[in-house]
A and B are shown apart, each in its own frame.
Chain A
Amino acid sequence: MIAEKAPKQMQEEVKAEEKIVYRAEQLNLWYGEDQALKNIDMDIQENEVTAIIGPSGCGKSTYIKTLNRMTEMIPIVRTSGRVYYRNENIFDKKYKVEELRTKVGMVFQKPNPFPKSIYENVVYGPKIHGIKDKKLLDEIVERSLKGAALWDEVKDRLKENAFGLSGGQQQRLCIARCLAVEPDVILMDEPTSALDPISTLKIEELVQELKENYSIVIVTHNMQQAGRISDKTAFFLNGEVVEYDNTDTMFSSPQDKRTEDYISGRFG
């Protein structure tokens, strides 16, 4: 079966080379003495939704946080190996982490809007990157909120504090906040785990729309969600990538016994 697929795959790989957003090579990461990521080799494709699944503590959140170097916030973290973003090694000493994070947005597990107005939340990114033109900012706010499917709900109360929104709305505001700087990639770390089913559905629909313009990496503990929204899925276990394939393939015919066990709900 693998042999059959090979020639076609090779062709695709040549074409895909230009469309690779992220490439991890032998990525290892330690929290103090504990190794959280082991020899990760993984490519992320442009304009696709890549889902990362696996049981708690498997390293999926850690992996996604290395992609914008948020792991650096924890002093005891050590990494080795290389992660290329658009062919540049982000661990390179000269690499500017602020630039990386401008191009790579992140949505967190718990909605974390700033204690400011809805408007100020959205323009935060553009403002810190030097955009001051009021008209342009207004435009960005409208476009980003529309992009996050929140505009109709909040357009009359942009000056109100973001904490007044519901959990689901707050999370969409966080997505809008990401969109405001027009990133290249959006990283989502279990974005729906703190939300009710209806809000979850809205975010899932939104992810489908966003993939037109953005590359999305989403960590989820919910396999059904991965199945519903992603193009590719990686299964993490104990810090290793057990299997990484097209979502349909993985869910219908997993190659690895452990993937099969996990997908069929035997653990995790």
Chain B
Amino acid sequence: MKEPMNHSIRELIAEKSTRRTKWAEIMMPKFFLLCAIISILTTIGIVLTLFSETFSFFREVSILEFITSAEWYPLHNDPSYGIRPLITGTLVIAAIAMCIAIPIGLATAIYLSEYATDKTRRTIKPILEVLAGIPTIVYGFFALTFVTPLLQRFIPDVSIYNALSPGLVVGIMIIPMVASLSEDAMSAVPRSMREGAFALGSTRFEVAVKVVLPAALSGVIASFVLAVSRAIGETMIVTVAGGSNPTTSLDVTSAVQTMTAYIVQISLGDAGYGTTEYYSIYAVGMTLFIFTLLMNVLAHFISKRFREVY
């Protein structure tokens, strides 16, 4: 026979468990599933929104004009909607940005993963995180009020709004991204591979460039592609410092307009709901979305497809 108290606890529990309502067991999983579905709905919402409003746009503007025309004058009396100038502006800025971000980002990654001591790494990485966490409007302010005047001092042709300054600053903005993603890829290369090369008498630089970098190449390239995607989607820096002059010219000293900057320009203006201008931001947004989506998928593909098996 057991102590009577023991029985009372066991019986109490048995009694409570038959009475207990299990609504949480049934409802909570459903609620969590709902939360998860909202993330899917967000994507569907984005695609549907862009599609339907872009469709409205193409009812008024021919898709052929949109793709082939080299002129983007939506606010003229005789408007012209050729996306090429906006794409050119976007790509010019992205290209300048990558010229900064790739060498500096990669060099930073190599330094952090191959040369730096643990202590240095622990100091520098948070600083890079700070750099990555600075709002883009702050970078935009920096581009307009510091970088542009600085450039003007060296290159007199540079106008107040130009492609060069925001391009450089976008590049600076994405350095941390390239550095941290590339460093992750390089740190994942097993120590044994490095040791093998060191044992053969290689210098640190040779190990970094001939062993680690090739082994981490897919991750490094994926980081470049993601950075391009980020540069293409960047808005405030180019809006503040790039100007609003849609052009197919490759002159980096004069004003340009990117896809993102155009969307902002129209949003700030008084383009009424239902006008062609209003719909045009969706067509441009759609183009932007497709560009970045392709880049992201490509990056995913590169890092998955060519993932080294150590």
Residues on A close to B: CB < 8 A?
98-99, 102-103, 126, 129-131, 140, 143, 181-182, 184, 213
Interface 0/1 of B8-24, CB less than 8 Å to A: 01101100110110000
Contact of A129 among B6, B7, B16 (CB under 8 A): B16
Residues of B7-46 at the interface with A, using a CB-CB cut-off of 8 Å, are 7, 9-10, 12-13, 16-17, 19-20
Please determine whether A213 and B6 come into contact, CB atoms closer than 8 angstroms.
yes
Residues of B near A143 (CB, < 8 A) are: 5
Contacts of A213 in B (CB 8 A): 2-3, 6
Q: How far is the CA of A99 from the CA of B5 in the complex (A)?
A: 20
Q: Verify A181–B17 contact, CB threshold 8 A.
A: no
State the Cβ distance, B25 to closest chain A Cβ, in Å: 9
Contacts of B5 in A (CB 8 A): 143
Establish whether residues A182 and B6, one from each chain, have CB atoms under 8 Å apart when the complex forms: yes
Partner of A126, one of B6, B7, B13, B19: B13
- Residues of the A chain whose Cβ atoms lie less than 8 Å from the Cβ of B9: 126, 131, 140, 181-182
Which residues of A sit under 8 angstroms from B20, Cβ to Cβ? Answer: 130
In the A-B complex, list the 8 residue pairs whose CB atoms are closest, starting with the nearest: A130-B16, A182-B10, A129-B13, A182-B9, A182-B6, A130-B20, A213-B2, A129-B16
* A103 and B20 alpha carbons, distance in the complex (Å): 17
Per the bound structure, the CA–CA distance linking A88 and B10 in Å amounts to 19
Q: In the complex, which residues of chain A have a beta carbon less than 8 angstroms from the beta carbon of B19?
A: 130
Q: Select A131's contact among B3, B7, B16, beta carbons within 8 Å.
A: B16
Choose one: A130, A140, A184; the contact of B17 (CB below 8 Å): A130
A172 to B294, CA, bound (A): 58
Could you say which of B2, B5, B13 has the most chain A C-beta atoms within 10 Å of its C-beta?
B13
- Which residue on B lies nearest to A180, using beta carbons? B9
Some 17 contacts from A to B, beta carbons below 8 A apart, are: A99-B17, A102-B13, A103-B10, A126-B9, A126-B13, A129-B13, A130-B13, A131-B9, A131-B13, A131-B16, A140-B9, A182-B6, A182-B9, A182-B10, A182-B13, A184-B10, A213-B3
Q: How big is chain B's contact interface, by range?
A: 10 to 19
Question: A181 CA to B9 CA in the complex, in Å?
Answer: 7
- Taken together as a complex, chains A and B put the C-alpha atoms of A117 and B70 apart, in Å, by 71
Contacting pair A129 B2 (CB below 8 A): no
Please give the distance in Å from B115's CB to the nearest CB on chain A: 38
Closest chain B CB from A113 CB (angstroms): 21
Roughly how many angstroms separate A184 CA and B11 CA in the complex, as a whole number? 12
Q: In the complex, what residue of chain A is closest to B16 when comparing beta carbons?
A: A130
Question: Do A102 and B16 touch (CB < 8 A)?
Answer: no
Task: Note all chain A residues with C-beta closer than 8 A to B13.
Answer: 102, 126, 129-131, 181-182
Contacts of A184 in B (CB 8 A): 10
Docked Cα-Cα span, A190 to B12, in Å, equals: 31
CB distance from B46 to the nearest CB of A (A): 34
Residues of chain B within 8 A of A140, CB atoms compared? 9
- In the complex, A143 Cα to B6 Cα: how many Å? 10
User: Complex: how many Å from CA A17 to CA B5?
Assistant: 27
Smallest beta-carbon distance A145→chain B, Å = 14
Evaluate contact between A129 and B17: CB separation under 8 angstroms: yes
Q: Given the complex, which residues of B lie within 8 Å of A103, measured CB to CB?
A: 10
> Once bound together, how far apart are the Cα atoms of A36 and B153, in whole Å?
78
Q: How far is the CB of B211 from chain A (nearest CB, A)?
A: 37
* Residues from 235 to 279 in B contacting A, C-beta threshold 8 Å: none
Q: Is the CB of A131 within 8 A of B2?
A: no
Q: In this complex, what residue of A is CB-closest to B25?
A: A98
B9 to chain A, nearest CB (A): 5
Residue in chain B with minimal CB distance to A132: B16
Min C-beta distance of A126 to chain B, whole Å: 7
- Give the chain B neighbours of A182 by CB distance below 8 A: 6-7, 9-10, 13
Closest to B3 in A: A213
Q: Kindly list chain B residues whose C-beta atoms are within 8 Å of the C-beta of A181.
A: 9-10, 13
What chain A residues lie within 8 Å of B6 (beta carbons)? 182, 213
Closest to A130 in B: B16
Q: Kindly state the separation between the CA atoms of A83 and B10 in the bound complex, as whole angstroms.
A: 23
- By a CB distance below 8 angstroms, the chain A residues around B17 are 98-99, 102, 129-130
Residues of B within 8 A of A99 (CB): 17
A72 to chain B, nearest CB (A): 16
Which chain A residues border B12 with CB–CB below 8 Å? 131
A257 vs chain B, min Cβ distance (A): 42
Within 8 Å CB of B3, what residues of A? Answer: 213
Q: How far is the CB of B78 from chain A (nearest CB, A)?
A: 66
Distance of A177 from chain B, by nearest CB (Å): 14
Q: What residues of B have a CB within 8 angstroms of the CB of A98 in the complex?
A: 17
Given contacts A129-B16, A140-B9, 20 further A-B contacts (CB under 8 A): A98-B17, A102-B13, A102-B17, A129-B13, A129-B17, A130-B13, A130-B16, A130-B17, A130-B19, A130-B20, A131-B12, A181-B9, A181-B10, A181-B13, A182-B9, A182-B10, A182-B13, A184-B10, A213-B2, A213-B3
